[in-house]
Chain A
Amino acid sequence: MAPVFWGFRAMFYGALLMFGTVFYATILRFRRRLWSAKKFHRWLMWMTPVGILAILGGWVTAETGRQPWIVFGYLRTSAAVSNLAPGEVLFSVLGFCLIYAVMLIAYIGYIVHTLRIGPERDHPDFRSDPPDHPQPALDGRDVSVETVGAQAGVR
Chain B
Amino acid sequence: MKLYLYGIINSSDQIKESIYGLEGSGVYNIPLCDIGAVVSEISQPIRGVTKGAVLEHEAVVEKLMENFTILPVRFQTIIDGRDNLLSMMQSYYKDFKDNLERLHNKLEFGIKVIWPADKVKENIIKALKKGGQRMPESDSSVSKRFIKEKFEKYEIDKEFEAKADRFIKVMDIFFSKFAAEKKLGKLKTENLLLDAVYLVEKDRQNDFREAFEHIKNAHTGLKYLFSGPWPPYNFVVLSKKSGLLRDSEQADLFDKVTQCQTLVGADSI
B partners with A: no
Interface on B for A, CB 8 Å cutoff? none
